[in-house]
């Protein structure tokens, strides 16, 4: 059983550019969520996907968008990058369980630096 994998692990972009981050869910998990973690802060929920549909979103602008694919892998896209977008972006997958929420399994994260 493979864990959650994210790519790339590190990347540097300049202000105004666009970035795509990728996440492969743990086997058997149909729900994936993305988080932004600034230095010294706890993760902030960006959005969640279940069966290829967004079904929850945090307080992030529309330039943060995502996709989930039939194999439950996912992408996070950020357009018009700003300096404050520099952060660790974490992906987590979990099984969607009846009557409650399954445990989150996190990837190692993608560290984005915007110059």
Partner 1 sequence: KNEVEQSPQNLTAQEGEFITINCSYSVGISALHWLQQHPGGGIVSLFMLSSGKKKHGRLIATINIQEKHSSLHITASHPRDSAVYICAVYDKIIFGKGTRLHILP
Residues near partner 1, by CB under 8 A: 33, 35, 37, 41-45, 48, 56, 58, 88, 90, 92, 100-101, 103-109, 111
> Burial code of 36-68, b = ≥16 C-beta within 10 A, e = fewer?
beeeeeebeebbbbbeeeeeeeeeeeeebbbeb
27 or 79, CB closer to partner 1?
A: 27
37 or 73, CB closer to partner 1?
A: 37
Q: Least distance in Å: CB of 16 to partner 1?
A: 26
Q: Rounded to a whole number, what is the largest CA-CA distance in the chain?
A: 44
Contact 15, 83 (CB under 8 A): yes
Q: Least distance in Å: CB of 74 to partner 1?
A: 15
30 or 37, CB closer to partner 1?
A: 37
């Amino acid at each position: 059983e493979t864990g959650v994998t994210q790519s790339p692990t590190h990347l540097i972009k300049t202000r105004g550019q666009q970035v795509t981050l990728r996440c492969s869910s743990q086997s058997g998990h149909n729900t994936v969520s993305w988080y932004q973690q600034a230095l010294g802060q706890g993760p902030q929920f960006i959005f969640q996907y279940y069966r290829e549909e967004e079904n929850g979103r945090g307080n992030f602008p529309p330039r943060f968008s995502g996709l989930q694919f039939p194999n439950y892998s996912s992408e996070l896209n950020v357009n018009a990058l700003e300096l404050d977008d520099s952060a660790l972006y974490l992906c987590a997958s979990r099984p969607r369980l009846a009557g409650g929420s399954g445990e989150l399994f996190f990837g190692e994260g993608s560290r984005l630096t915007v110059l």
